[in-house]
Structure 1
Amino acid sequence: MRRTTPLAITAAALLLAACGSQSDGTGGRGGNDKVSPSSSPSSAASPAASPGGTGCVTHLELTAADTGRTVCLTKGGELRLTLDGTRARPWKPVDASGPALKGINAGFVIQPGDATAAYQAVTSGTTELTSSRPLCATPTAPGQVSCKGLQEWTVTVRVR
């Protein structure tokens, strides 16, 4: 569990209040092709969110909740992801296998255990993004129970 300052809680509440008051007919996205994480794998491939009706978007932001999704990004588009971990259960650095994405500067990792990454869509094709973290914390004292289970995270990115 993370410690949160009263200022951060207030800022988050104001941000959520501002987001909830939007009524521009774009479902709260403001028409900027930014896709929020969703339990529905098809939400990122909505033709309404894509230039030219290709079903792909120009900007994606992913989190741990997006595991298992397949998303579509236009060539030249950008994808950013943040996996919130802890010191006891840290995410491994994100691995990208496939030619469609090129890593770009993701910025700073604020909290120990987090994994962040950013990519630009450079060529048509498919890339799989993966990471993992322990299912339970590493024992800190002799005699504590340990587990060797892993929480897997994977997203398939198609670039058109």
Structure 2
Amino acid sequence: MRRTTPIALAAAALLLAGCGSQSGGDSGSKGKVSPSASAPSSGSGCAAQVELKVADNGRTVCLAKGGELRLTLDGTKTRPWKPVALSGTALEAINAGFVIQPGDATAAYKAVAAGTAKLTSSRPLCPPADPGQASCKGIQQWTVTVKVK
């Protein structure tokens, strides 16, 4: 039986850690939804302010009625996010109040009624291929469900 050295194990771990990583602005909130430091605006137990990033994909967040939600999806010129789409009547779009960089998608909403809303966006999984090269047709989806109480 062959012995595996600690150096070989460490090298394998480093190689695996690099697999699946992507560039293009996918870093952000490190998987955490960032409610503001302020207390909820009602006794609902929901946040008065929420900030969302790419890493919040697939999450459900609770926003107090009258609260605000802001989001920034960091993209690139070659992998731009589509404008954020809103479904449901619990949120109303407001002015985000800042300039966006090419490829980014930003949005801001006010919680106007109790209920559920869904925010969605998408972008190409890969940058466009050079002429004569194989292209990637994958799409990266982003979705967050917002419950307003």
Where on the TM-score scale, by shorter chain, does this alignment land: which range? 0.7 to 0.9
- How far, CA to CA, are the matches of 1:110 and 1:122 in structure 2? 25
Gaps of 5+ in 2: 1-22
SS in 2 for 1:102: strand
- How far, CA to CA, are the matches of 2:31 and 2:76 in structure 1? 23
Following superposition, the deviation at residue 37 of structure 1 comes to: 4.2
Gaps of 5+ in 1: 3-35
SS in 1 for 2:92: strand
- How far, CA to CA, are the matches of 1:38 and 1:123 in structure 2? 30
Q: 1:53 to 1:134 in 2, by over 3 A?
A: same
SS in 1 for 2:66: strand
Following superposition, the deviation at residue 127 of structure 1 comes to: 0.2
- How far, CA to CA, are the matches of 2:74 and 2:31 in structure 1? 18
Q: 1:108 to 1:51 in 2, by over 3 A?
A: closer
- In structure 2, give the amino acid aligned to 1:157: V
Counterpart pick for 1:81 among 65, 68, 71? 71
- How far, CA to CA, are the matches of 1:54 and 1:38 in structure 2? 26
* Contact 1:97 1:129 (C-alpha < 8 Å) held by counterparts: yes
* Contact 2:41 2:67 (C-alpha < 8 Å) held by counterparts: no
C-alpha offsets along residues 28-82 of structure 1, whole Å, 9 cap, x if unaligned? Answer: xxxxxxxx946367x86xxxx5355522010001000101110011111000000
Identity among equivalent pairs (%): 65
Map 1:4-83 onto structure 2 (within 5 A): 37=29, 39=31, 50-51=40-41, 53-83=43-73
Q: What do you get for the CA RMSD once the two structures are aligned?
A: 2.4
Stretches of 4+ aligned residues off by more than 3 angstroms:
36-41, 49-53
Q: 1:38 to 1:123 in 2, by over 3 A?
A: farther
* Contact 1:90 1:133 (C-alpha < 8 Å) held by counterparts: yes
- How far, CA to CA, are the matches of 2:75 and 2:31 in structure 1? 20
| In the alignment, structure 1 residue 134 sits paired with structure 2 residue 124 | yes
| In the alignment, structure 1 residue 157 sits paired with structure 2 residue 149 | no
Following superposition, the deviation at residue 97 of structure 1 comes to: 0.3
User: Rg bigger for which structure?
Assistant: 2
Q: Which has the higher helix share?
A: 1
SS in 1 for 2:48: strand
